[in-house]
Amino acid sequence: MRYVSTKGSGPVDARTAVLQGLPSDNGLFVPEAIPKLPDGQIKEILQSNLSDIAYQVTHPYLSGEISDTELRKICAEAFNFPLELVNLEENLSVLELFHGPTLAFKDFGARFMARVMGFFVRNEEEDLHILVATSGDTGGAVGNGFHGVEGIRVTIVFPENKISKRQQAQITSLGGNVQAVAVQGTFDDCQKLVKEAFLDAQLKELRLSSANSINISRLIPQSIYYFAANAMLSGEDPLYVVPSGNLGNISAGVMALKMGLPIHQFIAALNANDTFERYLQSDHYEARPSVPTLANAMDVGNPSNIQRLMYWLSSDISNYISATHYNDEEILRGLKNSLQKYEYNMCPHTAIGYLAAMESKVHLDKPHVILSTAHPSKFSEELPEIPYTFELPQRLHEQISKVQHYERVGNHYQDFKDYLLS
Ligand SMILES: *Cc1c(COP(=O)(O)O)cnc(C)c1O
């Protein structure tokens, strides 16, 4: 498969698209054509287990550049955790995507991307050095994804005392090829330092690279859980309700649909950052600065993957996707309601999906599947008013009790640079 930019440049091979991350014309990489699978193959995929589904779905995107044996190995290693579909009531279920090492769906994208990048640099003498700034969640998933991958070193840059204790534990307890550095400043300071390092000619020999959230190799593997969910459901085509921020998750759903997976429709469930909903209503795109909400992993005012959705669906977009948003008060109501009604614990992002599904279900008699993007324990410390009843997952327990290693630097570029060169 070759890849082109949404703004027209290309084509390039998969290796270039993955290692370069972004095309130089400011667009985003997309496959030259999304592969439409024959009905027979879709039927076969829907009978398979997760690692096999992963192989069949990702194969057309990478064949020719990664051997079948190697791709099978990558899939088996990346998706070594379960996926669960929990039924709440008729026509309403939750697809739990948070059973990976960092308890969030981002593990699907990060673990696959890390292994694909590792494969593409396997014959190079010098390690590739991934530099990533995080406001909390991404650092954990990327660090975990690359942990133990040969040929790649990772430095995670986080703002000291500005991320939760649990998030910090996930980032600083890895060790090995994953280092953490705490900046005395804000997330914006971290991003600035990282950007400056990428532009610094004196750091060329460090072979710095980014593991950007819009890398196409993070999107491709996210299609697989839509196939896996269809496989677990029976009957009518489902409607997927996707808690959305940067719109990566829902873009992967659209890829699954274009590959031929039977899907009735998508609902993008948003928090107060409703840029995408306003776009669907007015056909006019207007980004806004993000506002903080309880579902903070979705606080995105200018969602980058909208470019891909426009490219794939253009003026038909509202036939496939609708959008709706909820404020913090409604999120709290949704969290309490799901506990009362089903004794089901959810994270604030999932609660937005729950609210959207309940509203849609009233007038649409179809199976609604809510994608649950994170385990509630990642956010429960900040939500003391919710009477959660879950037990702390074992792996979070382990991560919290491990020794933490990190360096501290000031927010001056020279300090950061000295750290990188040391
Ligand atoms: C990243 C994230 C989202 C948003 O996903 P997008 O692909 O950016 O739309 C939703 N929930 C959680 C918990 C996340 O970490």
**Pocket residue to mutate for ligand 1, from 373, 380, 382, most atoms within 8 A of Cβ:** 373
pLDDT value at position 384? 95
Cα 360 to Cα 420: distance, rounded to the nearest angstrom: 51
Containing 360, the helix (H) or strand (E) segment is helix 348-361
Which is more confidently placed, 315 or 165?
315
Band the pLDDT of 276: cuts 50, 70, 90. Answer: very high
Q: Is this model's pTM higher than 0.75 or not?
A: yes
Q: How far is the CA of 126 from the centre of ligand 1 (A)?
A: 33
Q: Choose which residue among 298, 309, 326, 347 to substitute to test ligand 1 binding: the one with the highest number of ligand atoms within 8 A of its C-beta.
A: 298
Query: Which ligand 1 atom lies nearest to the CA of residue 244?
Result: 9
Q: Are the beta carbons of 152 and 114 closer than 8 angstroms?
A: yes
Q: Nearest 10 degrees: CA dihedral of 352, 262, 49, 117?
A: -70
- The average pLDDT across 407-411 equals 94
233 alpha carbon – ligand 1 mean position (Å): 23
Kindly list the distances between the CA atom of residue 135 and the CA atoms of 131, 183, 380, in Å, as whole numbers in the listed order.
14, 11, 17
Of 128-142, 228-242, 247-261, 299-313, give the lowest mean pLDDT range: 128-142
3-state secondary structure 324-351: EECCHHHHHHHHHHHHHHHCCCCCHHHH
pLDDT value at position 398? 87
- Gyration radius of the chain's alpha carbons: 21
Question: What pLDDT is stored for residue 210 in this prediction?
Answer: 83
The residue whose C-alpha atom lies closest to atom 11 belonging to ligand 1 is 373
Give the contacts of 57 (CB within 8 A, at least 6 positions apart): 45, 220, 223, 224, 227, 256, 259
Distance 244 CA to ligand 1 centre (A): 6
Does residue 136 have a pLDDT over 80?
A: no
- Of the given ranges (11-20, 129-138, 142-151, 347-356), which has the lowest mean pLDDT? 129-138
Cα 214 from Cα 355, distance rounded (Å):
27
To test ligand 1's pocket by mutation, which of 242, 246, 267, 379 has the most ligand atoms within 8 angstroms of CB?
246
SS3 label, residue 393: coil
Phi/psi-derived region of residue 52, left when phi > 0, alpha when psi is between -120 and 50, beta in every other case: alpha
| pLDDT tens by residue, 64-98 | 999 999 999 999 999 999 999 999 999 999 999 99
Q: Copy the structure tokens of residue 216.
A: 């196409």
From first CA to last CA, the distance across the chain in angstroms is 40
| Average pLDDT of the chain, as a whole number | 94
Q: What is the pLDDT of residue 22?
A: 87
Distance 202 CA to ligand 1 centre (A): 35
Model pLDDT for residues 240-254, shown as the tens digit of each residue: 999 999 999 999 999
With tokens 């990533």, the residue in question is: 132
C-alpha 250 to ligand 1 mean position (Å) = 10
CB-based contact 277:284 (threshold 8 Å): no
- Residue 289, pLDDT score: 86
In tens, the pLDDT along 48-70 reads 999 999 999 999 999 999 999 99
**What token pair was written down for 303?**
């969602």
CA-proximal residue: ligand 1, atom 15 (nearest): 297
The percentage of the chain sitting over the pLDDT mark of 70, rounded to a whole number, equals: 100
Q: How far is the CA of 125 from the centre of ligand 1 (A)?
A: 35
Please, is 343 exposed, middle or buried when counting C-beta atoms within 10 Å of its C-beta (0-12, 13-18, 19+)?
exposed
Cβ-based burial of 176 (10 A; exposed 0-12, middle 13-18, buried ≥19): exposed
Tell whether the model's pLDDT for residue 413 goes beyond 90: yes
More reliable by pLDDT, 179 or 283? 179
CA of 296 to the centre of ligand 1 (A): 9
What's the confidence (pLDDT) of residue 365? Answer: 94
Pocket around ligand 1 at a 6 A CB cut-off: 104, 106, 137, 243-249, 297-298, 349, 373-374
DSSP tag of 79: T
Measured in angstroms, how far is the CA atom of residue 281 from the centroid of ligand 1? 22
Query: How does residue 235 score in pLDDT terms, banded at 50, 70 and 90?
Result: confident
